Structure 1
Amino acid sequence: MANVAKFAFMLLLCFVVASAPYAVDGAVTCQMVVSSLTPCASYLTRGGPVPPSCCSGITSLYEAASTTTDRQTACKCMEQAAGMVPGISLDAASSLPGKCGVNIPYKISPTTDCSKVQ
């Protein structure tokens, strides 16, 4: 199962890295989101304690997403990731920011309407 999760996550990385960024003028790109969240993969697929490097990535992404455009881009990238990688616990993904002490203004879910993120 771990190999399937790793393969799925690597497949997601390929899709996101190959795709164009959502926001040309913004500071946040899908590549940045994937890079920031890669340390979270084991927690999102297998549970257990949240790695400190995962929280560092969440915090740096939160700090980088300083505009509405940045936050919408990050939301779209996380939404895409949540929908494409089998084995991700959506409950774990939704609880991750809080476990890292970060309060984001939307739920991480494939059904989040990122256009409403401020």
Structure 2
Amino acid sequence: IENYDIEKSILPILVIVAITCFLEYFSKDKLNIIVLISYSIVCILYHEFLMGIPIIFYDTIFSKYKYICILILIPYIMNIHKYPHMISIMILGLLSTSAILKFNTVKYENLHDKFIKQRDDLTE
């Protein structure tokens, strides 16, 4: 990044942390989509926020409207030329990793729920 400044990198990190805490606390599907669209618009306007795309993607990928999560790739594609190739590849790798991690998390949560239900049924 040509004009890297540490002060410019603090605000995106704080915004990303606040958004993920907000999404985790409320965990409503429609609210997740609104936040995703808003964050996509912010990423289009300010490319410093692109580094948080994998985190927001992780929070919203397996929501009720999971295909809308592809919207998060639009700012990435629009601003890909503003980053060196290595950082662009890193963001793509983190997107893939976050999708795999979320898939495994959902799978294990479902297994845990089935285990609890079966345990409760057997104790009755």
TM-score range, shorter chain: 0.3 to 0.5
Larger gyration radius, structure 1 or structure 2: 2
Would you tell me which structure has more helix in proportion to its own residues?
Answer: 2
Question: Structure 2 length normalisation: TM-score?
Answer: 0.35
